[in-house]
């Protein structure tokens, strides 16, 4: 597979927000992580995001996060980018995680807005600058106000874009106007963090996507962007539409994407294992529906 990493796509184009496999006893499954990562790359991902929300980062230890990066790097080598989620509500802890990710072999870090404390924009900006200054890794900002309670305002993004190591954004803001404003005034590489927006954001200049649904269907997600790159926008729209029922079941049916991704991976015989508390596994009915929609998509 040819990498699509460029200055405009610093982490590649089709990234998967990879789940973190656990054993049935709930321990970190490094062999499963190696196997899943290799499969995702073989099926069309040119970047992996580890220890994001989909990777259950709130329930993994700092040591587990570092072990996961090292294991996946061993599996995929330097063929793809590895971006490590290092966000927390504590700036000091986020700095520690960023440095540990660099030592473990990550290519970049994903830093979410500090959550729960709801800092004002001046504090949000200071947080990101402190983390960006703490290691030599490029930084991707993660804007997801629905979870954190705090937006990274477009004006803040524009100021942060001047930092040499702040190079990208995972966008879950649901604010197309704000996104277009930042795209027009900066060189930040935007990645759609919501699977229903993969094509829409790509069409207005995003660098690619960071997809949870790609845990199960990396090929169909990559195909949307392939069609657009080939100039066949009608085909790209058709492929996005075909993926919508599965996207809805995985991301819009009331269960976290981690839960639905692991339920579907289990049905497909791929590594995943259980979720960690406070999450609970998907029920049989939900898993049946996920498999049915998966089969419809992949049979098309």
Please state the residue numbers annotated as binding site for pyruvate: 54, 210
Q: Helix or strand or coil: residue 170?
A: strand
Distance CA 163, CA 109 (A): 15
Residues 138, 187: contact at Cβ < 8 Å?
Answer: no
Distance CA 234, CA 224 (A): 10
Which residue ranges are tagged as binding site? 54, 210
**Structure tokens given for 39:** 């499969």
Residues 211, 221: contact at Cβ < 8 Å?
Answer: yes
Residues 279, 256: contact at Cβ < 8 Å?
Answer: yes
Dihedral over Cα of 108, 113, 117, 119: its sign: positive
E strands, the chain, in order? 14-17, 47-50, 81-85, 108-112, 139-143, 166-171, 189-192, 208-211
Active site residue 142: yes
Distance CA 221, CA 214 (A): 6
Neighbours of 283 (CB within 10 A): 12
Q: Which residue among 65, 115, 116, 170 is the active-site one?
A: 170
Burial of 115 (0-12, 13-18, 19+ CB in 10 A): middle
Closest CA to 168 of 142, 201, 137, 134: 142
Q: How many CA atoms lie less than 13 Å away from 121 in the CB half-sphere?
A: 10
**Structure tokens given for 51:** 């220890």
Distance CA 2, CA 13 (A): 11
Count of all residues that appear for the chain in the document? 300
Active site residue 170: yes
Q: Which residue among 142, 190, 191, 294 is the active-site one?
A: 142
Q: Which residues are part of the catalytic machinery?
A: 142, 170
């Amino acid at each position: 597979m040819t990498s699509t990493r460029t200055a405009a796509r610093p982490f590649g184009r089709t990234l998967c927000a990879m789940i973190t496999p656990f054993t049935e006893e709930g321990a970190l499954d490094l062999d499963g992580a190696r196997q899943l990562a290799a499969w995702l790359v073989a099926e069309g991902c040119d970047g992996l995001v580890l220890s994001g929300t989909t990777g259950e980062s709130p329930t993994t230890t700092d040591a587990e996060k570092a072990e996961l990066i090292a294991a996946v790097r061993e599996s995929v080598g330097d063929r793809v980018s590895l971006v490590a989620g290092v966000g927390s509500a504590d700036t000091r802890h986020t700095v520690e995680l960023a440095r540990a990710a660099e030592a473990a072999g990550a290519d970049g870090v994903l830093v979410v807005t500090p959550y729960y404390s709801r800092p004002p924009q001046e504090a949000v900006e200071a947080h990101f600058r402190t983390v960006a200054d703490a290691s030599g890794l490029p930084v991707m900002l993660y804007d997801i106000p629905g979870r954190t309670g705090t937006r990274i305002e477009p004006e803040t993004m524009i100021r942060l874009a001047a930092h040499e190591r702040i190079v990208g954004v995972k966008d879950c803001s649901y604010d197309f106007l704000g996104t277009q404003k930042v795209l027009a005034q900066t060189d930040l590489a935007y990645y759609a963090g919501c699977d229903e927006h993969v094509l829409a954001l790509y069409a207005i200049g995003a660098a690619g996507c960071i997809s949870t649904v790609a845990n199960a269907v990396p090929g169909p997600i990559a195909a949307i962007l392939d069609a657009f790159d080939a100039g066949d926008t009608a085909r790209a729209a058709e492929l996005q539409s075909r993926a919508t029922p599965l996207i809805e079941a995985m991301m819009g049916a009331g269960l976290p994407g981690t839960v639905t991704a692991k339920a579907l991976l289990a049905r497909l015989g791929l590594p995943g294992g259980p979720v960690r508390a406070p999450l609970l596994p998907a029920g049989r009915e939900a898993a049946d529906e996920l498999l049915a929609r998966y089969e419809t998509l992949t049979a098309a």
